[in-house]
Amino acid sequence: MKSILDSLKDANPRPLWHDADIMPEPLPPLSQDTHCELLIVGGGFTGLWAALQAKERRPEVDILLIEQTFIGDGASGRCGGFLNTSLAHGETNTEYQFPGEADKIEALGVQNMLEFIQTLERYQIDARYEQVGAMEVALDKDAKQRLYQLYKSCKRDGDDVVWFDTNAVREQVNSPAFYAGLWYRDGLDGVIDPARLCWGLKETLIKLGVRIYESTKLQSLQSLNKKSMKAVCGQAEIHADKVLLATNAFPAVLGKIKRSIIPVWDYQIATEPLTEEQLNAIGWHKTRHALSDFNNMFHYFRLTKDNRITWGGGGAVRYYFNNGTDKKYEHAPERYEQLAEEFFHTFPQLKGIRFSNKWGGIIATSSRFCMVPGTAYGGRVAWAVGYTGHGVGASRFGARIAIELLGYQPSDILKMQFVRKKAMPWAPEPLRWIGVKLTQSALVKADKNGGKRGLWLKLLDKMNLGFTC
Ligand SMILES: Cc1cc2nc3c(=O)[nH]c(=O)nc-3n(C[C@H](O)[C@H](O)[C@H](O)COP(=O)(O)OP(=O)(O)OC[C@H]3O[C@@H](n4cnc5c(N)ncnc54)[C@H](O)[C@@H]3O)c2cc1C
């Protein structure tokens, strides 16, 4: 235990990505009343991508974006940076939730990813994108068998996947905890530096004429008349023709959003840069795949450009009673200790390495485990929230849906169930808390029990509420 505590002793309690050397000066808050055509609330990926796509579709549109703290302070600047093509949280969930639309959703996901990367090139945004692909690793013999079944089914579907048996996977990434690996070789999946993406988008938007105000919190929203919405932010009021709410897991101003998502805290730690010797001890630097383990309560881990390892997820995720989003939950020492312990179990060769950063962030979890779009006030207000831990790529698509719902070049995708189907609302407290706790412990039990899903998970599966990606 002492070595765990030592490894975390000097860790900076802020996201690794919030590097003071590159963090832009925050913009001043809104201090006087104003008007705009499109008001965007929230300076994470959804809000930023929405502003950019609206500008690209209609360059003359007058957009104002407000952020309650600073751009990239939400999940977007705190996430793992795993960039994934999937829009609806994996194939199984897509089939469950939107029967018959899987192929179309997959094609839209690929298109979204291509446009994502082209946008980085077009505006020269250095988000440190690395097209390293993703690999899932099995942590025991049962998981190995299940992962192998998945490999065979991917092969049947014509996916470009590679199977690594125990010795082979350890040649890829040397961990005594790994029994097998499934590498998704095709596609554009990879990793980015998420805060650099936020700040690159912010700089681009400013150049395109979007007005951005930081430290400006939306407090209430109401209809002023048939054409205009009134947004109150501290001393200032904004009159807007249209409003896009991109507030994700944070307390929402509309009940419809509040009921559709719950905030779940996820924690991460990051090591100091690995030395040549440490890199050689694990061998991962040759392939640099983005890794996750094949569990319900899975860890996700990756290398950064300067060869640190970021490590998050696992049993450290938490839902706090009554939708807790308070800053006090941002740091949870016992979560960091748990993460560090699991890290050293996976990479015992790195004993002695120190963690440079530790932090938490909030995931907006919807009952369908993927983005939930919606509208209110006769279509003058729209939103896309609830990506459930899979939002780095999907938020660009969520942003597209939200602007189309507001009338900016609507397309056929608005007819899809993916957009039209309502997400089941979460139960009220205390049922919500009890349900999440029960599910979490059932998932942990299933992980320890060769993946066998108990009665509770089977019941949820029947209702399409079981978490299986
Ligand atoms: C720890 C962690 C790890 C993750 N890892 C990954 C990953 O590796 N890959 C992946 O695909 N996804 C991951 N995710 C999920 C992904 O980060 C999110 O889905 C995505 O960033 C959501 O973007 P967003 O803009 O909708 O929300 P956010 O980034 O949360 O942005 C919402 C913004 O709205 C602002 N806001 C809220 N209320 C108001 C208000 N009233 N007035 C003004 N502003 C307001 C907030 O301050 C915030 O900046 C992770 C999430 C977390 C927390």
Model confidence over 159-195: pLDDT tens digits?
Answer: 899 999 999 999 999 999 999 999 998 788 999 999 9
115 and 55 fall within a common domain: yes
How large is the average pLDDT for residues 207-235?
96
Determine whether the shortest distance from the Cβ of 402 to ligand 1 is under 6 A.
Answer: no
Instruction: Out of 387, 388, 397, 401, give the residue to mutate to test ligand 1, the one with the largest number of ligand atoms within 8 Å of its CB.
Output: 387
303 and 450 fall within a common domain: no
Determine whether the shortest distance from the Cβ of 292 to ligand 1 is under 6 A.
Answer: no
DSSP of 222-234, one letter per residue?
A: EE-SSS-EEEEET
Quick one: 37 exposed, middle or buried, by C-beta within 10 A (0-12, 13-18, 19+)?
Answer: middle
Closest CA to 387 of 219, 260, 299, 287: 260
88 and 204 fall within a common domain: yes
Looking at the domain assignment, is residue 362 inside a domain? Answer: no
Determine whether the shortest distance from the Cβ of 79 to ligand 1 is under 6 A.
Answer: yes
172 and 288 fall within a common domain: yes
Cα 27 to Cα 216: distance, rounded to the nearest angstrom: 10
Span from the CA of 339 to the centroid of ligand 1 (angstroms): 21
Determine whether the shortest distance from the Cβ of 74 to ligand 1 is under 6 A.
Answer: yes
Cα 436 to Cα 320: distance, rounded to the nearest angstrom: 10
414 and 285 fall within a common domain: no
Q: How confident is the model at residue 466 (pLDDT cuts 50, 70, 90)?
A: low
236 and 142 fall within a common domain: no
116 and 57 fall within a common domain: yes
Residues paired with residue 83 on neighbouring β-strands, in sequence order? 190
Residue 13 has pLDDT above 90, yes or no: yes
Determine whether the shortest distance from the Cβ of 250 to ligand 1 is under 6 A.
Answer: yes
Span from the CA of 398 to the centroid of ligand 1 (angstroms): 12
CB 201 within 8 A of CB 49: yes
Comparing 75 with 96, which gets the higher pLDDT? 75
Cα 125 to Cα 128: distance, rounded to the nearest angstrom: 9
204 and 146 fall within a common domain: no
Task: Give the residue, by CA position, lying nearest to ligand 1 atom 19.
Answer: 391
Q: Give pLDDT, residue 469.
A: 40
Looking at the domain assignment, is residue 413 inside a domain? Answer: yes
CB 257 within 8 A of CB 325: no
Q: How confident is the model at residue 118 (pLDDT cuts 50, 70, 90)?
A: very high
Looking at the domain assignment, is residue 118 inside a domain? Answer: yes
47 and 106 fall within a common domain: yes
Determine whether the shortest distance from the Cβ of 68 to ligand 1 is under 6 A.
Answer: yes
Span from the CA of 47 to the centroid of ligand 1 (angstroms): 10
Closest CA to 331 of 8, 20, 24: 8
182 and 45 fall within a common domain: no
Determine whether the shortest distance from the Cβ of 42 to ligand 1 is under 6 A.
Answer: yes
Looking at the domain assignment, is residue 112 inside a domain? Answer: yes
Task: Give the residue, by CA position, lying nearest to ligand 1 atom 18.
Answer: 391
Full domain range(s) for residue 94: 34-122+194-260+368-420
Say how many C-beta atoms besides its own lie within 10 A of residue 7's C-beta: 24
Looking at the domain assignment, is residue 440 inside a domain? Answer: yes
- Please report the atom of ligand 1 found closest to the CA of residue 249: 30
Span from the CA of 43 to the centroid of ligand 1 (angstroms): 9
Q: How confident is the model at residue 296 (pLDDT cuts 50, 70, 90)?
A: confident
Looking at the domain assignment, is residue 146 inside a domain? Answer: yes
Determine whether the shortest distance from the Cβ of 399 to ligand 1 is under 6 A.
Answer: no
pLDDT digit string, tens, across residues 260-290 = 999 999 999 999 999 999 999 999 988 899 9
373 and 437 fall within a common domain: no
Span from the CA of 124 to the centroid of ligand 1 (angstroms): 23
Instruction: Out of 233, 248, 292, 335, give the residue to mutate to test ligand 1, the one with the largest number of ligand atoms within 8 Å of its CB.
Output: 248
395 and 451 fall within a common domain: no
Q: Give pLDDT, residue 467.
A: 60
How large is the average pLDDT for residues 447-459?
85
Domain count across the chain: 3
Q: Give pLDDT, residue 194.
A: 98
Mean pLDDT of the chain: 94
CB 66 within 8 A of CB 240: no
Determine whether the shortest distance from the Cβ of 362 to ligand 1 is under 6 A.
Answer: yes
Looking at the domain assignment, is residue 341 inside a domain? Answer: no
Instruction: Out of 86, 319, 392, give the residue to mutate to test ligand 1, the one with the largest number of ligand atoms within 8 Å of its CB.
Output: 392
pLDDT digit string, tens, across residues 351-388 = 999 999 999 999 999 999 999 999 999 999 999 999 99
- Please report the atom of ligand 1 found closest to the CA of residue 47: 25
Span from the CA of 364 to the centroid of ligand 1 (angstroms): 8
- Please report the atom of ligand 1 found closest to the CA of residue 77: 29
Phi, psi of 371 (to 5 degrees): -50, 140
Looking at the domain assignment, is residue 407 inside a domain? Answer: yes
Q: Give pLDDT, residue 285.
A: 87
Quick one: 8 exposed, middle or buried, by C-beta within 10 A (0-12, 13-18, 19+)?
Answer: middle
> Per the structure block, which two tokens stand in for 469?
């990606």
Q: How confident is the model at residue 315 (pLDDT cuts 50, 70, 90)?
A: confident
- Please report the atom of ligand 1 found closest to the CA of residue 66: 43
**Angle 389-393-395 (CA atoms, 0-180°, nearest 5)?**
75
Task: Give the residue, by CA position, lying nearest to ligand 1 atom 4.
Answer: 79
